[in-house]
Amino acid sequence: MADTPPRRPFPYNGAEPVNAELDDPTTEKAVEEIAGKGRQNDWQDSDRRAGRQNFSPSKHGFWHRVGRVFSLWLGTAWGRWITFFVLLAALGVGAGVPTARYFCLNAAGVQSTASVTVLDNVLGTPLKNVQVTLEGKKIETDVKGTAHFSGLKLGPADLTIAQLGFATVKKHVIIGWGSNALGQVSLTSVGLRYTITVRDYLTNQPITGAEASVGQSSATSDNTGKMILTLPGNSSAGSVSIAKAGYRTDQFALQPSGQTTDAELVTTQKEVYVAQTDGTYNLFKADMDGKNRQQLLPGTGTETTHTSLVLSPDATHAALVSIRDSQKAADGQPLNTLTLISVADSTPLTLAHAETIRLIDWIGPKLIFEQTNPDSGAAGTSIISYDFVTNSRAQLASGTTIGGVLSAQGTVYYSVGADASNPAVQPGFYKVNPDGNGRQQTFTKEVTSAVRADFSTFDLNAADGWYAYTVSNDNAGLTTSPAAGASRLYLDNANRSGVSASIKNGNVITHTVSGGSDVTVSAPGGATQVVTWVGPDALVYRLATESESADYAVGVNGGTPRKVADALNTAGFSQGQ
């Protein structure tokens, strides 16, 4: 065997063996070139597997080196701090330069909203239908004089406000982040100015927020009822339309510029009454000035003057007791019919037939009435509560000895006499809630008659004399016999708590609970009943004299009575409220 040159040992450098035979520089260069090509081939194979077909070794190598440099940069504490301060400075520049800031926010899709209110420069009242333009968007002001914009870009914008008869206003505004309240803008008139005052027809009180309009021009009344309507200088208007929620919209002749147009608005609440036409008693409704009369319920021809009519506190329903149907009692006498009519759509609903039906009170939506010989045919008297909202009824009391039914301050009262055929009946004076709950005996003596002396007191006649019964605490004490044998009728104001109205000596009286005082509203000397309240400050009363039977409306704070319509002197509530 030939001699083999001795192999040099593999020295160990503490990490891995190194082949000493590869120390030659030329060999090492060749090995590095082969290794580099191998790494590039490995990268190509990796990219192909990842779906990157257009592989550029040189390009990949550049970004790879950039990534490695950036990684090394952020891998050091000083590199991270320098990067943080550079980014912070860039953000500061962007925040400090509005144009850059708005550009960035708009590019990110950020949008804002804005609003502006347009007023008349004299009265300071809002102007409706004014055209406001912002960022090319056109919006008309609402009844409050306000135009609302949404979807706005941030930054500088031009605001233009234009209305016929007024000088156009142009402003440069900045739309910022979120909601932008651009404030109030007062327009100066350059056209014809018309002064209008608006008042309530019954109370003569000023109406705030009434809107007058002619074409696209409008104005709104202030708290004194005054408004200034501005029209283009080349226009002429013969009339103006004035509207307000709760009032009838009417046309009024527009007085020349420089004069005042006085307008009275009539409430939309209806007056309901019975009138005889062509020999028949029909039920009608009309506006408070007598206009727009419509038939609610036609008569059948069998009705008589013995008819009762009461309106619900909200004036939406009328309860009518009349002999209008063909039903008769066992003795052949015609039965009375209780009909509930919707004032809005004239829908009638028959609630009862009976020999006698007495209307006691309205307590909210509940009609309280008393009937004898009811539909069931049972003898005696029943006190019924009917709720038109829930279409339900409740029997509050029944028996053969019930009498003296009254109502006061939301509670129903009645007397019960001794019944020889039923010793279990306890005579006395009782009260019950309008839903049938809370029934209790409040006076143990048998009461033969009961009348309402005033707003807070009943007079009860017992075997040992007259007693004054206080409604608020159910206490009763001996008193003298009442001067009048009939109940004082009170009608509570559903729109103004603590105020009632009644008739005393033919005059219309209002009663304030807090002060306990009575005030004479109207003194015609022939008033028979308070028909209904009209809002918080007016009412309708029935006047029945030798010369006329009619309904009048009046404001309770000094208004002038206005005749609504001639009406049959129907009865109202039969006892006291």
More confident residue, 16 or 503: 503
Q: Which one of 9-18, 77-86, 363-372, 477-486 scores highest in mean pLDDT?
A: 363-372
pLDDT at 42 over 60: no
Residue 320 in contact with residue 311, Cβ under 8 Å? no
pLDDT at residue 70, rounded to an integer: 60
Tell me the backbone φ, ψ of residue 494, rounded to 5 degrees: -70, -20
Tell me the backbone φ, ψ of residue 467, rounded to 5 degrees: -125, 140
Nearest to 541 by CA among 504, 513, 494, 498: 504
Residue 227 in contact with residue 243, Cβ under 8 Å? no
pLDDT tens profile 89-109: 455 455 555 677 777 777 778
From CA 209, how far away is CA 200, in angstroms rounded? Answer: 12
Residue-wise over 442-479: b if at least 16 C-beta within 10 A, else e? ebebbbeebbbbbbbbbbbbbeeebbbbebeeeebeee
pLDDT tens profile 1-21: 444 444 444 343 443 443 333
Strands 146-152 and 137-140: unpaired
pLDDT at 186 over 50: yes
From CA 213, how far away is CA 230, in angstroms rounded? Answer: 10
Neighbours of 244 (CB within 10 A): 20
Mean local confidence (pLDDT), 223-249: 89
State pTM to two decimals. Answer: 0.75
The pLDDT-based confidence of 414 (bands split at 50, 70, 90) is very high
pLDDT at residue 410, rounded to an integer: 94
Using a pLDDT cut of 90, give the percent of the chain over it.
62
pLDDT at 63 over 70: no
Query: Judging by beta carbons within 10 Å of its beta carbon (0-12, 13-18, 19+), is residue 65 exposed, middle or buried?
Result: exposed
pLDDT tens profile 259-292: 899 999 999 999 999 999 988 999 999 999 999 9
pLDDT tens profile 544-573: 999 999 999 999 998 789 999 999 999 999
pLDDT at residue 190, rounded to an integer: 82
3-state helix, strand, coil in the chain (%, to 5): 15, 45, 40
Strands 179-187 and 112-120: parallel
DSSP secondary structure code for residue 154 in this structure: S
Question: Which amino acid is it at 221?
Answer: S
Neighbours of 120 (CB within 10 A): 23
User: 9-23, 74-88, 378-392, 527-541: lowest mean pLDDT where?
Assistant: 9-23
Average pLDDT of the chain is 85
The token pair that represents 15 in the structure block: 């990490």
Nearest to 116 by CA among 135, 137, 134, 93: 134
Q: Which residue has the tokens 């932008």?
A: 180
Using a pLDDT cut of 70, give the percent of the chain over it.
81
H/E stretch holding 65: helix 57-74
The token pair that represents 422 in the structure block: 């039923």
User: 180-194, 374-388, 414-428: lowest mean pLDDT where?
Assistant: 374-388
pLDDT at residue 61, rounded to an integer: 63
pLDDT tens profile 339-382: 999 999 999 999 999 999 999 999 999 999 999 875 444 558 99
Mean local confidence (pLDDT), 235-247: 88
User: 125-134, 198-207, 228-237, 268-277: lowest mean pLDDT where?
Assistant: 228-237
pLDDT at residue 189, rounded to an integer: 81
Q: Which one of 102-116, 259-273, 396-410, 477-491 scores highest in mean pLDDT?
A: 259-273
